[in-house]
Structure 1
Amino acid sequence: MCNVAGDEGRVPLLHGTTPSVHNCVKIDLTQTDAIIKTAISVHDKYPKEYGKAALAVGMLMVAAVCNDLVLSLIHEKVPQQPPLPDVVFQYTPYTPWALVLSEYLMLGSFAVMSVLTLMHRHRWIILRRIAFIGALLYFGRCITMFVTQVPVADPNYYCAPRLTGDDLNLRNIILRALRTVTGIGLKINGKHVLCGDYIYSGHTVVLVTSCLFIREYSPRRWKPLHFLSLMVSAAGVILLLISRGHYSIDVIISYWISTRVFWTYHTLAAYPNLKASKFHQVTSG
């Protein structure tokens, strides 16, 4: 018995219930014996597409390197003046050690997301989505960092000396960026000594997107994990702010962009007819 009503144009997300039009039992009562035919689950029809996953991961790696190249370049341009006024800074105590704790929470959230991805039936599709969304966010961050530099938020944060004279050349800028890449941009690795990567917050990108992927691709009954993931992400952002690791505006912009990119991508993935409708509107307008 098949129920064909409902979201006919919707392709279900990977964790959700499949439309009954794709997974149903058909009973032919015209025969002497009832013949029961079960349609193949739509889950089995998703191609793994290793090439697309590899391409997305490659995009993410390029975006990460571009971030550090831009950071190495703008390190020379960061205004050497006191931090900008910030309402969170005004009403919270300065807690420098909180940045390290924020990074550990960020790594923990990312690790949980990675384990869930590896355990998922459609791990290659989820990996592709993580990498593609991450690449979009970090390419966008390259642009915002390059166009606007603000003073260092933490007046006690160590910034490496600027290049001067003959040392200020493309080779040294690239080498300095590659050293930062090996530390994946974290203070806990002791290699993030370049300043200027504020708008928008890369820490918040990882915290928010990890939480979104954990909640989207884990079973709905795992509510304790969903709640814990949300609390870890919120705590990571709060610790980031009270450590003066980022301005409040960095976090707000990062949250807004991360959630919109995630939701837009998954809306288009779930309702492919929206893409066709939009194309028709553009071409027929």
Structure 2
Amino acid sequence: MVTVLGVPSGGVIVPLVTPLAADGTVSEPDVARLVAAVAGHVVALVPGLSTGEGWALDDDRWSAVVSHTLSHRRGLPVLAGTQRRTTAEVVARAAKAVALGAAGVVVPTQSGSGVTQREMYEHYVAVTATVAAPVVVYHESAVTGNLLDPATLLRVCELEGVVAVKDSGGDPAATRALLAAAPPVAVWQGYEDLVARTPGVDGCVLALANLEPDLCARYLAGQAAAADLDAACARYRLAEPDWYRHVKAHLCRRGVISTAAAVTPVGEEP
């Protein structure tokens, strides 16, 4: 297993929700409570990614959630999500993350139809050449509409500056093939229901960890059953397109965050 960015192998990384105050700004007290609730069970924090509605965050709210997470990180590494549509926008957001003090940035492909594999590769070339921080490749298509093919992903993994892949491609066979190719980076699974089908990953980035960090950690340590993880995901409706709304609703009921308000307007889920 590969350890990068101070993130221990085999641990749980949490993609944090973005808590909003009643006035629509990011609530720093809520971020602090959320980090405190998960800190004893996770190995890194990721604000501003999909569970944090990174695609919908304007610059002010994105900067706020990253800054507040850094202020209350309890010694944990903070990897900032950079979900923007174009290479230039991703580079700008990643540069801001570095300036704020993030240990690394989590970078998807550019968004939109018709993006070629070559253009996706060149996107990561531009990011790694410009951004002075380690890069985690966010391998997904739900938000961007694009997916790196296996050969392109391996080429991206060879770029200097790329240190990990958050694999949310949804294909366990592809993840196993990536692991078999022994890329020089860490491979993190991004889906709860695929953890058991991708043995050998270097860690997991799980939305469930916002609500059940102890269960996630025990499961990865072999101390909880897959059925327990599956039941929790079903209970919190994590397979639905607006999973982050359900996570926020449960956190609000527990008093961890003060409102269940989402950044994303209803009906505009990716």
- Shorter-chain TM band: under 0.3
Greater per-residue helix proportion: 1
TM-score (norm 2): 0.20
Larger relative contact order (CA 8 Å, sep ≥ 6): 1
Q: Which has the larger radius of gyration?
A: 1
TM-score (norm 1): 0.19
Greater per-residue strand proportion: 2
